[in-house]
Amino acid sequence: MSDNVIAVDWGSSQLRAWQGDKTLALPLGISRLNGLSPREVFEQHIAPWRESAATPVLMAGMIGSDAGWQPVPYLPCPVPLRALAARLCEVADNVWIVPGLRAGREEVMRGEETQLLGATQLAPAGCYVMPGTHSKWVQVEDGGVTGFSTAMTGELHHLLMTHSLIGNGLPAQAEDNARFCQGLERGLAAPSLVSELFRHRAARVLGGLPAASVGEALSGVLIGAEVRAMLAARPLHTITLVGSAALCCRYQQAFACAGVDTRRLCGDRAFLQGIRSLLDARC
Amino acid sequence: MSDNVIAVDWGSSQLRAWQGDKTLALPLGISRLNGLSPREVFEQHIAPWRESAATPVLMAGMIGSDAGWQPVPYLPCPVPLRALAARLCEVADNVWIVPGLRAGREEVMRGEETQLLGATQLAPAGCYVMPGTHSKWVQVEDGGVTGFSTAMTGELHHLLMTHSLIGNGLPAQAEDNARFCQGLERGLAAPSLVSELFRHRAARVLGGLPAASVGEALSGVLIGAEVRAMLAARPLHTITLVGSAALCCRYQQAFACAGVDTRRLCGDRAFLQGIRSLLDARC
């Protein structure tokens, strides 16, 4: 990131910021503020980076939701991504929030739009898959987002491992790519997730699934089911993954099984390119 | 229930007992014992009902699991339900636990086998659907269970409403059969649950779904998806529902939409008939 801007990705669980070669990561997402207001967190952790208000701060993510600093209206799809720059919302002196996008009345995103803006410049494509807590599958045409869908895959994995009978009493989880791949095959083949999930509990009780591998097996089934369902709705031959290396790697395995070619783009790199592009458009 | 036996349905969250026209319901399921042992709970709440050890106590449910009083081995399917009587496990003087069933290495049940024994006598059928935290779909032939599958529908609803972003910050939930039916239609039609779930969050944020109706809409989608997936794996024309009136009513609406005829049997009635039948077989 250049020195003349501070980029902030402020989500539900994490706050991350970049300026030049400085980075900051704090567990102060908007759902974990421990009674602080976003403004207080900003004053304490980000404002000290600025020499003056001449340094713009551009923030994206859930910070623009009704549970964040200030609700910033969604831009409705189809929307050209270059329209984002004109719709930044100033919440403090030269501190701006990027608006999220909505598709129809049942799909929303906050944060991914900034990654998408960068991704369309760094790796132009027609379909992006952005794995995460809430995976986004995004259709892009001529630099505009025409629509997208969300899969709650990451959140479901967390819920099942943390709060359900499946995760109850499990030991520390191990890496187990063999179990992950078995899960993938089942998720990709299963007529439905509904009847697959409980089998993780039963197989563990009956001794067929090692207790330390439940997380990997479940991850495989959930990602497989996501890929299967999304491809059933919209057949694709090539997609571009935008996200962390670890998560993109899992999805690449799933797409390989499904016969879909993939390219990969680092999610942070896409995000920072998006911020830079927004900044340039404002100058 | 006759006076000469105490029937106990002891699950994860609840303990219920019957003797004659006395009934007991306590929030002392095996996952909520607050440090007490099952034996201590038994001594405190159930033993006082007995005049002597001549009164048999028959218990079914998770009390027979490794987290219960004593693990009682599952009987493998296919299995004639009359075999249950010979495999009761005595855990104290004339206090017995009914074994659960397993199908293959990935399906287990505890408690439902006793309901099934009663159901096959009160309402003979080839397929029973037992809605609940973990719904069971059971195939029966000639008084024997040939196989079954589990859907985590009830638990998923609880997880999503209690611990996920979908349920986050919701007001008290209202009855809303119209939203439930809309959810049903979507669950029955959707290629996958995966992409349906997040829409409840988005639709609420965007104002299309009243916050007090999220629970009903989600219940409809989950039950619809369960019925769709299970029928896709195994087409059926008639099923017998065994469970509470409230839950069976929801599933009846789903089956009506799917063109499947239903009969209903009260789950408690089936359970008590099962216990009676086990007792008779022992005499």
Tell me which residue in B156, B162, B195 faces A150 most closely, judged by beta carbons. Answer: B195
Q: For residue A86, with 0-12 CB atoms within 10 Å meaning exposed, 13-18 middle and 19 or more buried, which class applies?
A: exposed
The enclosing H or E element of A166 equals none
Tokens, residue A35? 């009674």
| pLDDT at site B263 | 96
Tell me which residue in A159, A162, A194 faces B193 most closely, judged by beta carbons. Answer: A194
pLDDT (mean) for B236-261: 95
pLDDT (mean) for A148-177: 92
How many angstroms separate the CA of residue B211 from the nearest CA in chain A?
14
**Contacts A152 to B, Cβ<8 Å:** 164, 194, 197-198
| pLDDT at site A227 | 95
| pLDDT at site A204 | 87
| pLDDT at site B139 | 97
Assign B50 a pLDDT band (cuts: 50, 70, 90): very high
The verdict on a CB contact (< 8 Å) between B107 and A134 is no
Assign A9 a pLDDT band (cuts: 50, 70, 90): very high
Encode pLDDT of A246-271 as tens digits: 999 999 999 999 999 999 999 999 99
pLDDT surpasses 80 at B201: yes
Residue with structure tokens 């980075």?
A23
Among A69, A85, A74, which residue's Cα sits nearest to residue A36? A69
Report which DSSP code applies to A14: -
Chain B interface disruption, residue of A130, A153, A198, most B CBs within 10 A = A198
Q: From the CA atom positions of chain B, what is the Rg in Å?
A: 20
CB B215 within 8 A of CB B160: no
Assign B8 a pLDDT band (cuts: 50, 70, 90): very high
How many angstroms separate the CA of residue B246 from the nearest CA in chain A?
21
How many angstroms separate the CA of residue A158 from the nearest CA in chain B?
9
The verdict on a CB contact (< 8 Å) between A164 and B152 is yes
pLDDT (mean) for A212-216: 95
pLDDT surpasses 70 at A140: yes
Encode pLDDT of B27-37 as tens digits: 999 988 989 99
| pLDDT at site B1 | 65
Q: How many CB pairs under 8 A join A and B?
A: 136
| pLDDT at site A34 | 85
CB A92 within 8 A of CB A41: no
The verdict on a CB contact (< 8 Å) between B232 and A191 is yes
**Contacts A65 to B, Cβ<8 Å:** 205
pLDDT surpasses 80 at B45: yes
Q: Provide the b/e sequence for B35-56 (b: ≥16 CB within 10 Å).
A: eeebeebbeeebbebbeeeebb
Among A204, A194, A221, which residue's Cα sits nearest to residue A170? A204
Residue of chain A minimizing CA distance to B226: A194
How many angstroms separate the CA of residue A230 from the nearest CA in chain B?
8
Q: Alpha helix locations (H) across chain A? A: 38-41, 112-122, 153-163, 177-189, 194-205, 214-233, 245-257, 267-282
The enclosing H or E element of A80 equals strand A79-80
Residue of chain A minimizing CA distance to B201: A106
Helix, strand, coil share of chain A (percent; to 5): 45, 25, 35
The verdict on a CB contact (< 8 Å) between A199 and B66 is no
Encode pLDDT of B89-118 as tens digits: 999 999 999 999 999 999 999 999 999 999
The enclosing H or E element of B238 equals strand B238-243
Assign A1 a pLDDT band (cuts: 50, 70, 90): low
How many angstroms separate the CA of residue A209 from the nearest CA in chain B?
9
Which neighbouring-strand residues pair with B237? none
Assign B200 a pLDDT band (cuts: 50, 70, 90): confident
Assign B142 a pLDDT band (cuts: 50, 70, 90): very high
Dihedral (C-alpha) B214, B220, B226, B228: value to the nearest 10 degrees? -130
What percent of chain A has pLDDT above 70?
99
Chain A interface disruption, residue of B105, B198, B201, B234, most A CBs within 10 A = B198
Encode pLDDT of A236-250 as tens digits: 999 999 999 999 999
The verdict on a CB contact (< 8 Å) between B195 and A230 is yes
Entry pTM: 0.87
The verdict on a CB contact (< 8 Å) between B108 and A151 is no
Phi-psi region at B149: left, alpha or beta (left = phi > 0; alpha = psi -120 to 50): beta
pLDDT surpasses 80 at B208: yes
CB A254 within 8 A of CB A218: no
Mean pLDDT of chain B: 94
Residues with Cβ < 8 Å from B85, sequence gap 6 or more? B277, B278, B281, B282
Chain A interface disruption, residue of B182, B195, B221, B226, most A CBs within 10 A = B195
Chain A interface disruption, residue of B102, B194, B222, B227, most A CBs within 10 A = B194
pLDDT surpasses 70 at B195: yes
**Type of residue numbered A91:** V
pLDDT (mean) for B70-81: 97
Mean pLDDT of chain A: 94
Encode pLDDT of A57-109 as tens digits: 999 999 999 889 999 999 999 999 999 999 999 999 999 999 999 999 999 99
Residues with Cβ < 8 Å from B187, sequence gap 6 or more? B193, B196, B220, B221, B222, B223, B224, B225, B226, B227, B228, B254
The verdict on a CB contact (< 8 Å) between B192 and A232 is yes
How many angstroms separate the CA of residue B229 from the nearest CA in chain A?
6
What percent of chain B has pLDDT above 90?
83
Q: How many residues does chain B have?
A: 283
The verdict on a CB contact (< 8 Å) between A194 and B160 is no
Q: Alpha helix locations (H) across B176-266? A: 177-189, 193-205, 214-233, 245-257
The verdict on a CB contact (< 8 Å) between A225 and B192 is yes
pLDDT surpasses 70 at A283: no
Dihedral (C-alpha) B191, B193, B197, B199: value to the nearest 10 degrees? 0
The verdict on a CB contact (< 8 Å) between B194 and A225 is yes
Encode pLDDT of B161-171 as tens digits: 999 888 888 99
pLDDT surpasses 80 at B191: no
pLDDT surpasses 80 at A192: no
Assign B283 a pLDDT band (cuts: 50, 70, 90): low
How many angstroms separate the CA of residue B203 from the nearest CA in chain A?
5
Tell me which residue in A194, A225, A228 faces B151 most closely, judged by beta carbons. Answer: A194
